[in-house]
Amino acid sequence: MTLLERLKIETRTAHDRIETAIDLDRRIASRDGYRALLCRFYGFHVAWEGMAGDFAPDPHFFRRRCKTDLLVKDLRALGMTAREISRLPRCDSLMPLPAPAAVWGSMYVVEGSTLGGAVIARDVERRLGLNAETGCAYFRSYGRETAVMWKSFGTMLLTASSPEVDDLIVETANRTFDVMHDWLCEAP
Ligand code: HEM
């Protein structure tokens, strides 16, 4: 079994837990609720990118996948000022990444969220009428490139896989899901 297959199986419970707890229908029922959800995602990604960037194997590969700018674009489109955005709470409960290999487990969760994001983007468009220019760039993320980006992430991840580090990568993925869960789902 490849590391990608292991990750999918061994984090399924954590994925399903977050998918249920995020209560998307309620959050995107109104523009205000949706904006509040994006504020929480911003707080996660800005903190995560600051930390994970230090361990990233290839700065170009990592930067291309950063999502904070998309969130800023959405929040601006939804009426927030740059100053308000810069003062949003940031996720300070991030797990430390004790070893460079751990970044792969964490990045697996962040990159995989773009797959669900494509589904969420369709709901946001249908419910709130927002597109990539008017407040839904983050969930659209890589747009038509989503499958290609996921595949190339998987290829890179497999080059990092080895019997010595795979357990750590899976464990970090599960911890990342937990941190995200607490940050996104326990918010008001
Ligand atoms: C912040 C919350 C979420 C995170 C971090 C997350 C993370 C992930 C990850 C890591 C994968 C990759 C699974 C694999 O290895 O193939 C994935 C796939 C997926 N997720 Fe999520 N997800 C989240 C929320 C959601 C939500 C709310 C939905 C439903 C609207 C959803 C629907 C999906 C779908 C449809 C896939 C693709 C499954 C496949 O192609 O096999 N996710 N997600």
- Tell me how far apart the alpha carbons of residues 79 and 152 are, in angstroms, rounded to a whole number: 35
Q: Whose CA is nearest to atom 20 of ligand 1?
A: 116
Distance 47 CA to ligand 1 centre (A): 21
pLDDT digits (tens, 9 = 90+) for 96-110: 777 889 999 999 999
Residue 133 has pLDDT above 90, yes or no: yes
Q: Which domains does the chain have, with CATH numbers?
A: 3-185 (1.20.910.10)
47: pLDDT strictly greater than 70 = yes
Protein residue closest via CA to atom 11 of ligand 1: 112
Q: Are the CB atoms for 18 and 185 separated by under 8 Å?
A: yes
Tokens of 141: 């993320």
Distance (Å, whole) CA 120 – CA 117: 5
Residues 6+ apart with CB under 8 A from 18: 177, 180, 181, 184, 185
CA dist 24 and 85 (Å) reads 22
Ligand 1 atom closest to the Cα of residue 111 is 10
Q: Could you give the percent of the chain with pLDDT greater than 70?
A: 99
pLDDT in tens, 77-90: 999 999 999 999 99
State if residue 24 touches ligand 1 by the CB under 6 angstroms criterion: yes
pLDDT over 80 at 188, yes or no? no
141 and 65 Cβ atoms separated by less than 8 Å: no
Amino acid sitting at position 184: L
Q: 3-class DSSP state for residue 137?
A: coil
Pocket test for ligand 1, best of 7, 107, 115, 120 (most atoms within 8 A of CB): 115
**pLDDT value of residue 167:** 97
Q: Using a 6 Å cutoff on CB, does residue 117 contact ligand 1? A: no
Residues 20-40 have pLDDT tens digits of 999 999 999 999 999 999 999
Mean pLDDT of the residues in the chain: 95
Comparing CA positions, the residue from 133, 130, 132 lying closest to residue 34 is 130
Per DSSP, the three-state class of 188 is: coil
Phi-psi region of 129 (alpha: psi -120 to 50; beta: other; left: phi over 0): left
Per-residue pLDDT, 111: 98
Pick left, alpha or beta for residue 81 (phi over 0 → left; psi -120 to 50 → alpha; otherwise beta).
beta
Confidence (pLDDT) at 93: 81
Average pLDDT over residues 119-138: 97
* Whole-angstrom distance, CA of residue 42 vs CA of residue 127: 21
Note the pLDDT tens digit of each residue in 50-76: 999 988 888 899 999 999 999 999 999
Looking at residue 130, its pLDDT comes to 98
Helix (H) or strand (E) holding 71: helix 68-77
pLDDT at 43: 97
Q: Which two tokens stand for residue 92?
A: 């300070």
